[in-house]
Chain A
Amino acid sequence: EVKLVESGGGLVQPGRSLKLSCAASGFSFNDYWMGWVRQAPGKGLEWIGEINQDSSTINYTPSLKDKFTISRDNAQNTLYLQMSKLGSEDTAIYYCARETTYWGQGVMVTVSS
């Protein structure tokens, strides 16, 4: 069974950084592109970016490129999202996804003083 479990969310002050993790199991992690999507409270879905199997290609939504860094550790079957200079507009549920198919349950990030 494909399983994606996000962690690392919580309350963070404006201007600070936060790193999310996504632990993958039930499939061969290093065979797939992986990505991040977010959803602000009561809003729609926003694609953040994705990373290929060997980390040689990372694509970001241009408007978010300066704020987020996606990485992965194939030995640990883990995907990461480093977020910097957070603002209230970054308050959202963050989902990791295996290509377009499977999604994790999401982790909440709240940016507030």
Chain B
Amino acid sequence: DVVLTQTPVSLLISLGGQASISCRSSQSLVHSNGNTYLHWYLQKPGQSPQLLIYQVSNRFSGIPDRFSGSGSGTDFTLKISRVEPEDLGVYYCLQRTHNPPTFGGGTKLELK
């Protein structure tokens, strides 16, 4: 199975600050069709995960442009600028290029 390693495990950020989360894959996530199926989710406390970014860099409907995704191959990054209180929670990356789909271990974003 593909292993996704997220760093850091936890992140202390001030309101209005910027956060950066890394997701590294044990193998390339470029599909044979040329697409890269690496997605990002936020799980707020007591809630189910919500999709933020799909296929590396595409913001899902209603997601503010403070969230941006980048990367290629095996190395991906989620950036959150101007952090707001509603951004707090655990962030997960998910790869769907290879079967079975696998998640990263999560990064907890907390207020400093």
Please give the residue numbers on chain A whose beta carbons come within 8 Å of chain B beta carbons, in ascending order. Answer: 44-47, 49, 59-62, 95, 100-106
The answer to whether B48 touches A106 (Cβ under 8 A) is yes
The answer to whether A59 touches B99 (Cβ under 8 A) is yes
Closest to A35 in B: B101
The answer to whether B39 touches A100 (Cβ under 8 A) is yes
How far apart are the CA atoms of A59 and B94 in the complex, in Å? Answer: 16
The answer to whether B51 touches A101 (Cβ under 8 A) is yes
Answer whether A61 and B100 are a contact pair too, CB < 8 Å, given A100-B51, A104-B48. Answer: yes
The answer to whether A45 touches B51 (Cβ under 8 A) is no
The answer to whether A101 touches B60 (Cβ under 8 A) is yes
Interchain CB contact (< 8 A) of B48 among A49, A60, A61, A95 = A95
Contacts of B71 in A (CB 8 A): none
How far apart are the CA atoms of A73 and B13 in the complex, in Å? Answer: 45
The answer to whether B103 touches A103 (Cβ under 8 A) is no
How far apart are the CA atoms of A26 and B94 in the complex, in Å? Answer: 25
Q: How many A-B residue pairs have CB under 8 A?
A: 42
Answer whether A47 and B48 are a contact pair too, CB < 8 Å, given A100-B39, A100-B54, A100-B94. Answer: no
Contacts of A61 in B (CB 8 A): 1, 100-101
Interface flags for B43-74 (1: CB within 8 Å of A; 0: not) read: 00001111100100000100000000000000
The answer to whether B106 touches A44 (Cβ under 8 A) is yes
Interchain CB contact (< 8 A) of B103 among A47, A102, A106 = A47
Interchain CB contact (< 8 A) of B92 among A44, A49, A95, A106 = A44
The answer to whether B39 touches A62 (Cβ under 8 A) is no
How far apart are the CA atoms of A47 and B96 in the complex, in Å? Answer: 10
Contacts of B92 in A (CB 8 A): 44-45
Contacts of B5 in A (CB 8 A): none
The answer to whether A103 touches B49 (Cβ under 8 A) is yes
**What are 17 A-B pairs at a CB distance below 8 A?**
A44-B104, A45-B92, A45-B106, A46-B103, A47-B100, A47-B103, A59-B100, A61-B1, A61-B100, A95-B48, A95-B49, A100-B39, A101-B51, A102-B51, A103-B48, A103-B50, A106-B48
